[in-house]
Structure 1
Amino acid sequence: MIKAAKLAVIGFIVGCVFSAQGHQHHHHSHGEGVLFVVHDQDKWQVKFILPAGDIFGFEHQPETAQQKQVIKKTLAKLENSQQLVTFNTQCELIDSNVENPFEQHTHHSHNDLEVEYSFSCEKSVSTVTVTLFEWAKTISVIEAQWITEQAQGIEELTAAKPYIEWPL
C-alpha cells in the first residue's frame, strides 16, 4: 500500500515537472530538443520535446498524401523506444505516449512532438543514450535535464556526445 502511494506521488511529481519544464521553459528552436529523465528505484520516465519540422520534415498541417504517410510512418517508428533512447542495461518498456502534433488542427506555425516512455530496469542504469541523433540529422542539440535518486542536473547532448552518464 505504501509503495503504491509512493509511486502515485512520484508519478504526480514527474507529471508536474514534465508539464512545468516542458511547456513553460521550452522555446521552439529548430535543431534543438529537450529531454527529461526521472528515476525512482527501478522506474525510469523519459520525455522528449522535439520540433516537428526536424522529425517530420515539416511542421504545418499535412497537405499531401505523402506528408500524411510520413507522419504515420514516423509515429509508428517512435512507438519503438529504441529509436529515441537506450539504456546501458536491459530495461522493459512499460508505457509509451507518442503525441501526434498535427492531430489538433491549430493554426500554429511551429509544432512540437512530445514523446514519453516509462521503463522498468532490474539492474542499475549508469548511461542513458539518445539514439535520435542517428536518424534525425537536423537535430544538433538536446538539452537533457534529469532527476535521479542520487543527483539532478542539466547537460547538452549532441551527436558527438549523445549520452548522460552517472557513476554506479
Structure 2
Amino acid sequence: MRCHTIIPLLAVLGIPTIGTAAEPAQSSSHGAHVHGQAQLSFATDAQQVELLLESPVANLLGFEHAPGSAAEKAAWQQSQTLLQSGQWLQLPPAANCQLQQQQLNEPWSKSADPHHHADVELSLTYQCSNPAALTEVRLDLFRHAADLHQVDVQWVSGQQQGAATLTLKQREFRLVPAN
C-alpha cells in the first residue's frame, strides 16, 4: 500500500526523496555521501507527517562495512531499533502524532565490494490528530550518532516550505518560513 502522498510534492519542490514504504529504498545515494552529514526531508499534509532520512552508515556506527563481529552486529541492531522507533524525533506533544509506518533499507549491497558507500535510508509516517500544533521539530539523533555533526533539513508544511541546518547545538527547526 502506498501511503506516501507527499513524495510527489517534495519532488516538484526540488526536495530529494529516498524511497517509499511501497518501494523500499536501495543503497544508492540521492545526495552527496559525506561523512558527518545527513539529509532530512520533512513534509506535512492534512493530518499526515512524512519524513525521509538519509545518512552514511558511518555516522551511526562508526564504520561503513557490513557488520562482521558480534559487537558490530549488536550496534547495527540497536541502531535499527532506534531509527525505526522514531524516538530520535520529537514532535510537539499537543500535535498528538502516532507513528504509523516505517521503512529502513538494508545499507549493504549484496556485492562484496569493500569500497561500497553504505547509506541508511529511512522513511517514517505519522498520523497527527492535531496538526495545527505541529509548529516545530526536534532531532535527538545527535545523542545517538557520535559521528553525525550536521543534518540538512528541507520541509514542506501546508503552503509553506523552508530549510534548516541542524547541529548538536541547534537541534530544532520551526515549520514557518524564514524571514
TM-score bin, normalised by smaller chain: 0.7 to 0.9
User: Shift in Å at residue 95 of structure 1?
Assistant: 0.3
Which residue of 2 is the match for residue 94 of structure 1?
100
Which residue of 2 is the match for residue 122 of structure 1?
129
Identity over the aligned pairs, expressed in percent?
22
- The Cα offsets for residues 41-74 of structure 1, whole Å up to 9 and x where unpaired, read as 1100011101101111210122222212221222
CA contact (8 A) 1:28 1:110 kept: yes
Q: Which has the higher helix share?
A: 1
Which residue of 2 is the match for residue 165 of structure 1?
174
- Paired with 1:25 and 1:164, the residues of 2 have a C-alpha distance of 23
Q: In structure 2, what residue type is equivalent to 1:95?
A: Q
Length, aligned pairs only: 159
Query: What TM-score results when the alignment is normalised by the length of structure 1?
Result: 0.82
Query: What TM-score results when the alignment is normalised by the length of structure 2?
Result: 0.78
After TM superposition, the structure 1 = structure 2 runs for residues 101-116 of structure 1, keeping only pairs within 5 Å, are 101-102=107-108, 104-107=110-113, 108-116=115-123
Consecutive unaligned residues of structure 2, counting only runs of 5 or more, are 20-24
Consecutive unaligned residues of structure 1, counting only runs of 5 or more, are 1-6
Moved more, 111-120 or 96-105: 96-105
- Paired with 1:24 and 1:78, the residues of 2 have a C-alpha distance of 18
After TM superposition, the structure 1 = structure 2 runs for residues 19-168 of structure 1, keeping only pairs within 5 Å, are 19=18, 25-83=30-88, 85-89=89-93, 90-102=96-108, 104-107=110-113, 108-123=115-130, 124=132, 125-167=134-176
| RMSD, aligned CA | 2.5
CA contact (8 A) 1:75 1:100 kept: no
Relative to structure 1, the CA distance from residue 52 to residue 88 in structure 2 (aligned partners, 3 Å threshold; closer, same or farther) is same
